Amino acid sequence: MSEPLTATKLSNSSEETAGSRRFSFRIELDPSRKDSPWWITILSVLLALVLCGIFIGANGMNPVTVYMKMITGAFGTSFGLTETLVKSIPLLLCGIGVAIAYRISVWNIGAEGQFLAGAMAATAVTVYFPGLPGYLTIPLMVLCGIIGGGIWGLLTAIPRTYFQVNELITSLMLNYVAIHALNYFVFGPWKDPKGMNFPGSPMFTEAQSLPLVGDTRLHYGLIFAIAGVLLYAFLIRYTRWGYELRLIGANPEAARNAGIRISRHILLVMLISGGMAGLAGMSEVSGVTHRLMYGISPGYGYTAIIVAWLAKLNPLALIVSSFLFGGLIVGGYSVQTIGLPSSISSMMQGAILFCLIAGGMAYKFRIRRNG
């Protein structure tokens, strides 16, 4: 039988079935769809806002007013804007860290612990070398912060590389180890003797603090964050190492065929990933709280996961998403004045991540008519 004949036969039969069969649909996986386009991201975020709006409505508030309040609180005033920037610094640094790990499919969810390890390591400098001048102590704190976080990252990478231990579990568990280690220091050896039993290290001196911009709370950690993101963008795009990472991320099997040793990359990437989070921890203690204290992170390391996901690991989009999430945290505080708990922002973070993942998943499917 020749080609055209087959084609006619096929179309005939499909017409028949469309007429005779009842209307029905099926949902099937479309293998050609891999990366969801940008409008899926926007749609997912909007969906998250609608879902949260229902909760807000159930609390007797008008979601539109609440959202407006959050926006003006976070971005509308110069105070709000600087606060948003202050919050977005650790988010951006941690976000770079997790994004670089996610590029090669190493699911580091331990930025929180790496952040705390960096904060502790930086504080150790102030505790054990209190008299150093600023031009020595700040670089030393930066270095120790990065190394501290990096070691915390390696604690996940080494078992993953050599014993195939799932990094999700180790990185998450190490977060709790870091939290308890921090509590040990601030309740124990590093507790400020003049602090009236407050669980925190002694206040940093001027030399141990990052300089501030004008008389705002905005500190020079912002420069670390911007430099970090630019460096990340540059390394990924223009270096051999970045090329190897992109290749591993796109197709690890093919990367193996190109002679790339993936295990070695995991170690280095986790060192950097942890190092960035550690730098965030350093800049937080040195720039914002000026001491190591109990509960220093409101979950920056976790929020950074959503920040990275929203940006789809793209360096420049990371700037935008960390700024938005910084705003979300600040906006959460500002709605407290109208009687909503600030945890509304945690709920929104969760809802956004949920919808992003669901949106990416849903995009892979198509609805087809049966027949």
Nearest by Cα to 290 from 195, 176, 196: 195
Torsional sign, CA 205, 206, 208, 214: positive
Contact 194, 133 (CB under 8 A): no
- Total residues interacting with another protein, rule: CB under 8 A: 28
- Candidate residues 251, 263, 336, 343; the one interacting with another protein per rule CB under 8 A: 251
Task: Decide if residue 240 touches another protein (CB under 8 A).
Answer: yes
Residue 2 vs 337, nearer CB to another protein: 2
* Residues from 210 through 239 that contact another protein (CB under 8 A): 237-239
CA pair distance 64, 156, nearest whole angstrom? 43
| Residue listed under structure tokens 């922002």 | 345
By the rule CB under 8 A, 246 interacts with another protein:
yes
Quick check: 343 and 351 in contact, CB under 8 A?
no
From the list 55, 75, 220, 243, which residue makes contact with another protein (rule: CB under 8 A)?
A: 243
Query: What residue type is 31 in one-letter code?
Result: P
Q: In whole angstroms, give the CA distance from residue 53 to residue 346.
A: 14
Specify the residue, 288 or 311, whose C-beta has the smaller distance to another protein. Answer: 311
Shortest approach of another protein to residue 78 CB, angstroms?
41
Q: By CB under 8 A, which span of 42-50, 104-112, 249-257, 275-283 interacts with another protein? A: 249-257
Helix or strand (DSSP H, E) at 310:
helix 300-310
Which of 13, 105, 166, 336 is close enough to bind another protein by CB under 8 A?
13
Window 258 to 277, contacts with another protein (CB under 8 A): 258-259
The pair of structure tokens assigned to 105 is: 């499919």
Nearest approach, Cβ of residue 154 and another protein (Å): 22
What SS3 state is found at 339? Answer: coil
Tell the smallest beta-carbon distance from residue 1 to another protein (Å).
6
- Rounded to a whole number of angstroms, the minimum distance from the CB of residue 105 to another protein is 13
CB of 133 to another protein, least distance (A): 35
**254-261 long-range Cβ contacts below 8 angstroms, 24+ apart:** none
> Within 18-57, which residues bind another protein (CB under 8 A)?
32, 34-35
How far apart are alpha carbons 237 and 260 in whole angstroms?
17
Radius of gyration of the chain from its Cα atoms, rounded to whole angstroms: 25
DSSP codes, 158-211 = HHHHHH---HHHHHHHHHHHHHHHHHHHHHTTT--TTSTT-SBPPPPPGGGSPP
Q: Which part of the chain contacts another protein (CB under 8 A), choosing from 4-12, 71-79, 92-100, 141-149?
A: 4-12
Distance from C-alpha of 187 to C-alpha of 270, rounded to nearest angstrom: 30
370 belongs to the binding site for another protein (CB under 8 A): yes
Site string for another protein, 66-105 (x = CB under 8 A): ----------------------------------------
State the minimum distance, in angstroms, from the CB of residue 241 to another protein.
Answer: 7
Out of 105, 257, 263, 336, point to the residue binding another protein (CB under 8 A): 257
The CB-of-100 to another protein minimum distance in angstroms stands at: 17
Shortest reach from residue 265's CB to another protein, in Å:
14
Is the separation of the CB atoms in 329 and 87 below 8 Å?
yes
Residues found near another protein in the complex (CB under 8 A): 1, 6, 9-10, 13, 17, 32, 34-35, 237-243, 246-247, 250-251, 253-259, 370
